[in-house]
Amino acid sequence: MTKTSTRLIVRESLLVELWTEELPPKSLQRLSTAFADGLCDYLRDADLADSGSIFEEFATPRRLGARVSNVRGRQPHKAIDRKGPSVRQGLDESGKPTQALVGFARSCGVEANHLERRKDDKGEYFVYSAIRKGESLSALLPSIISGALKRLPVAKVMRWGSTDVQFVRPVHGLVILHGSKPIKLPSRILGFDGGTRLTAGHRFLSKGVVAIPSAEGYENALEQKGRVIVNFGLRKESIRHEAQQRTHGSSILWSDALLDEVTALVELPKVYKGSFDPQFLEVPQECLILSMQRHQRYLPLSDREGRLMPKFLMVSNIQPSDPMAIVRGNERVLSARLSDAKFFYDQDRKQSLESRVPQLAKMAYYREKLGTQLDRVRRIQSLAKRIAKPLKVDESLVSRAAELSKADLLTDMVGEFPELQGVMGRYYALNDKERPEIANAIEQHYWPRFAGDRLPEDSVAYVLALADKLETIAGMFGVGQQPTGDKDPYALRRHGLGVIRILIEKKLEIGIQPLVDLAIGEMPQNAKTDWLPVVEFLLDRARSYFSERGFSVRAIESVLRPFGSLSSLHTLLEIVAEASRFVDSEEGRILAEANKRITNILKKSGYEVPFGLLPDQLMEKPNPNLFKDPAEIEFWKALTKVGGESLVLRGQKRFAESLRVLSQLGRPTKSFFESVLVNAEEPDIRANRITLLQHARAYMNQAADLSLMAA
């Protein structure tokens, strides 16, 4: 048992800042959050901060900082009471300490004669009492800061100078302030021990080093004297606000990721507007946008119709009296970039996509285990035609689109911008006078590229998309590269969800297992795999899809487990939706529990009915002359009437309605089990009731396995 000392301990905000060379812009915010979060956690673990302490993170291109409120200057002293053996166990007959007492005293770091004796309602016992003095903040900070630094999500570190110090970038200083007091550490961290309040200001605009007066005065001092806005969020909003003021009715083509990266490149942002030669607009705008965003971190502008304008915004880290030099310089740099893009576009169009296809034989596909990219194209082409046939999609268009689908991988533009694969294929196909359906399919067969992305729009495109994704999944499973845990290097889960979404949202009448069989059939002999793991993998994606739409797990399993591999998923979506409502109703719960009971009874009696077996496929019917209880008579009448109606609806593929009408069986089923003993003493009565239950299971489970709905 421990008790905290009531001694007053001063609490102040603690500031820790690392001054570094330019940090990686794409990971700056993650580094900042991880550092602040880790620092706060370690301070709490050391009893220097508590749940009321909050942290603030600071990050610029040249610094990582964190401030934690209400940090103690020293750990509280603690009164320690450790209960030991009873007096009877601790002393022998002569009154000498036993081994139990000696061992307890040794664990406390004292002799046995220094232990106290106390009494409670259970008797007298030995106790160790002491005061453990709290350590100072400065003594504990080296391990606390080191621990926070080790938690940073850093993929690679570097060394500099002649030391063995390693960090993501060279470090030039360390500031640690507790309130207004600089803290000097007893040991060095990344080559520094603190003891200073001096840090660097803006690389170009600051007139020298900046003295931080206190932890709470950190942001103000750097902004006023160092010309640095250290709060990442404030810098980001400053850029957003100023950029929007400069649009003058146009729209900014940006994303949060791009805005974060731009924010991570500047310490005092200033937004300027530039322009480029309108002749470059002859190049597909996707190329121009990527060139501006990825190479230069510019913000392209578009008009109200979404067309790219020959104007852009740039975010500068300096604020000269005459900004035109900055604008003109950036315009020249962008002009060179766009000239490269135009050159690639012009050169690529000199050679048709069709003429590039044979060259795919020189590109190995997955370390040659799956052949070449040309082999892959032939597999996709064959698979796409086989999928197209039952879906009544033009096989010749699908075949042509598949043949050209990967040819743009050999173009200069896609070599420079891999993100444009498919996009450039569409442009080049149209340039080659291919049909629009073929050109669109070349681009859209990569869709959806991410969660929530749009699906391929027309039939040629979604058939090619299915073939491409299924070929990838089957091939990677065939060479042992299926996802494990959180590792999915070939994005098979994304491909799988794309397959599920296309099948459901395009309402395609084809099951998962037939598709998987077709895909595996196209694989080379060394990459063939069993269909079951691939089907289960895709069904797991379907489970996620249904679950995200709010359907209950029991309802999903009652439909997917028996029907998932062979039935069309868009039909199953309707059944799952109805099953989810069904399982929440009183009648549904009654039938689910009854089905579970029926299944168990039939299993024990050795007369199981396989799921999907229809009543007229059973060898025997119950004999109405052997019904003794009115409840079983009513049960059989309800089964034949309601179950028969459900069976008709099932035959018409109206599965959701088929399940819905079964809810009328709830009451007669409940009455049957309340009144009737299935295992009657008379053998003929018992056998007749077992047959009745076989028919009950067959009638009730036409659209879903109701036994799986039971809690």
DSSP-derived secondary structure for 22-64: PPPGGGHHHHHHHHHHHHHHHHHHTTSS-TT--EEEEEETTEE
28 is written with which tokens?
């700056």
Per-position DSSP letters for 357-402, written without gaps between them: GGGGGGSBSTTTTT-BHHHHHHHHHHHHHHHHTTTT--HHHHHHHH
Nearest alpha carbon to residue 199 among 216, 211, 191, 183: 211
Residue-wise pLDDT tens digits, 132-166: 788 899 999 999 999 999 999 988 899 988 888 99
CA distance 337 to 342: 9
- 373, 405 contact by CB (below 8 A): no
Backbone φ, ψ for residue 57 (5° rounding): -110, 145
What is the SS3 assignment for 475-498? HHHHCCCCCECCECCCCHHHHHHH
Q: Tell me, what's the pLDDT at 279?
A: 96
Work out the pLDDT band at 613, boundaries 50, 70, 90.
Answer: confident
Would you say residue 6 has pLDDT above 50? no
Q: Tell me, what's the pLDDT at 710?
A: 82
Per-position DSSP letters for 54-75, written without gaps between them: -EEEEEETTEEEEEEEEEESBP
Q: Tell me, what's the pLDDT at 650?
A: 84
Would you say residue 3 has pLDDT above 60? no
Strand 78-86 with 123-132, pairing: antiparallel
The structural architecture, per CATH, of the domain 354-548 is Orthogonal Bundle (1.10)
Is pLDDT larger for residue 380 or for residue 660?
380
- CA distances to 86, 419, 432 from 440, rounded to whole Å, are 85, 16, 13
Residue-wise pLDDT tens digits, 213-252: 999 999 999 999 999 999 999 999 999 999 999 998 899 9
Would you say residue 278 has pLDDT above 90? yes
Would you say residue 611 has pLDDT above 80? no
DSSP H helices, 134-263, are: 137-150, 218-226, 232-245, 256-263
Instruction: Look at the block and give the residue holding tokens 């605009």.
Output: 205
Would you say residue 202 has pLDDT above 70? yes
Residue-wise pLDDT tens digits, 9-41: 678 999 999 999 999 999 999 999 999 999 999
Q: What is the mean pLDDT of residues 362-374?
A: 91
List beta partners, residue 273: 313
State the chain's mean pLDDT as an integer: 92
CA distance 77 to 91: 32
Would you say residue 630 has pLDDT above 90? yes
CATH class of 583-709: mainly alpha
Strand 198-199 with 308-316, pairing: unpaired
Residue-wise pLDDT tens digits, 36-52: 999 999 999 999 998 88
Q: Which H or E element spans position 342?
A: helix 324-348
CA distance 157 to 169: 7
DSSP H helices, 68-136, are: 87-90, 99-108
Residue-wise pLDDT tens digits, 639-649: 999 999 998 98
Residue environment code for 605-619, b if the CB has 16+ CB neighbours within 10 A, otherwise e: beeebebeeebeebe
CA distance 200 to 60: 11
- 462, 506 contact by CB (below 8 A): yes
- 408, 445 contact by CB (below 8 A): no
Residue 161 buriedness (CB in 10 A; 0-12 / 13-18 / 19+): exposed
Least confident of 138-142, 396-400, 584-588: 584-588
Is pLDDT larger for residue 52 or for residue 427?
427
Would you say residue 583 has pLDDT above 90? no
CA distance 29 to 65: 11
CA distance 406 to 425: 8
Q: Tell me, what's the pLDDT at 2?
A: 42
DSSP H helices, 405-552, are: 412-416, 423-431, 436-444, 459-478, 492-505, 512-521, 531-548
Residue-wise pLDDT tens digits, 285-313: 999 999 999 989 999 999 999 999 999 99
As a 3-state breakdown, the chain gives helix, strand, coil percent values, each rounded to 5, of 50, 15, 30
Per-position DSSP letters for 432-444, written without gaps between them: TT--HHHHHHHHH
- CA distances to 313, 594, 609, 670 from 589, rounded to whole Å, are 61, 8, 21, 11
Close Cβ partners of 401 (under 8 Å, ≥ 6 residues apart) = 384, 437, 438, 441, 442, 445, 460, 461, 464
Residue 175 buriedness (CB in 10 A; 0-12 / 13-18 / 19+): buried
Q: Tell me, what's the pLDDT at 227?
A: 96
Q: Domain extents for the chain?
A: 2-75+136-226, 78-132, 232-348, 354-548, 583-709
Q: Calculate what percentage of the chain has a pLDDT beyond 70.
A: 99
DSSP-derived secondary structure letter, 332: H
